[in-house]
Amino acid sequence: MPIAVIADIIGSRRLSDRAQAQRALEQTVARVEEDRPLARRRLTAVVGDELQGAYDDVDRALAGILLLRLALPEGIECRYGVGIGAFETVPSAVGDLADGPAWWAARAAIETLHEKQQRAAPGARTWVTAAEGEPADIHRVAARATAYALARDRLVSEMSDRTRRILYGRCLGRTQTAIAAEEGISQSAVSQALSGSGGAEVVEGLALLVDEL
């Protein structure tokens, strides 16, 4: 079942250069999709600080979101609402518009994230919601996916920018030696960054999501 994803920039009004941040975000989305194509339709800016994209399944959506989180430059973060359900494309003079229950569910997920980040889960960046009317087993899939994402987001939110870069490289299958050379540090430092941050476990979890990773 196709999956709708809405991403919005956290604290966009506080960015010193909003236009530059938007360019950096779009360039990062393009780089991630080039490094590991996962999206059915890559995240694309639609209005304000929002982007919309689509994936073929929840696993690929979660994998794509992780890679984007790791690749984003310092100072730019997004929250991601993932919607499971039917969606359609509505023709328009300004281009095709996304509509349908999956998008409504993704919007509801974004609203839930806003609420959870205030108190219960400040490190949360991803929430998965099944559309109303979907079978109970689909709602259980959404709940399990969110539970995984909450634990993963906590780890990633606490990582330094260097550790995120290191983890991004490992998620793409680069060796610790190659990553160390890129960062100008020792292979041992790379290994310590991964083990100390929980990054090694994140890599293992990603491999379970998408076999080819």
Residues 61-82 pLDDT 10s: 999 999 999 999 988 899 999 9
- Report CA-CA distances (Å) from 132 to 49, 89, 100, 129, 200: 26, 19, 11, 9, 36
Long-range CB contacts (within 8 A, 24+) of 11-17: 11/77, 12/48, 12/49, 15/75, 15/76
Inform me whether the pLDDT recorded for 186 exceeds 50. Answer: yes
Average pLDDT, whole number, for the chain?
91
Residue of higher predicted confidence among 86 and 135: 135
Domain ranges, ordered by start, for the chain: 3-158, 160-213
Q: How far apart are CA 67 and CA 109, in angstroms?
A: 20
Domain 3-158, what fold? Alpha-Beta Plaits (3.30.70)
Percent of the chain with pLDDT over 90: 75
SS (H, E, C) the chain: CCEEEEEEECCHHHCCCHHHHHHHHHHHHHHHHHHCCCEEEEEEEEECCEEEEEECCHHHHHHHHHHHHHHCCCCCCEEEEEEECCCEEECCCCCCEEECHHHHHHHHHHHHHHHHHHCCCCCCCEEEEECCCCCHHHHHHHHHHHHHHHHHHHHHHCCCHHHHHHHHHHHCCCCHHHHHHHHCCCHHHHHHHHHHHCHHHHHHHHHHHCCCC
Residues 30-41 pLDDT 10s: 999 999 999 999
How confident is residue 112, by pLDDT bands cut at 50, 70 and 90?
very high
At residue 96, the pLDDT reads 60
Inform me whether the pLDDT recorded for 191 exceeds 60. Answer: yes
Inform me whether the pLDDT recorded for 208 exceeds 70. Answer: yes
If we measure between CA atoms, which residue out of 79, 100, 70 comes closest to residue 3? Answer: 100
Residues 156-167 pLDDT 10s: 999 999 999 999
Residue with tokens 């010193």: 16
At residue 213, the pLDDT reads 45
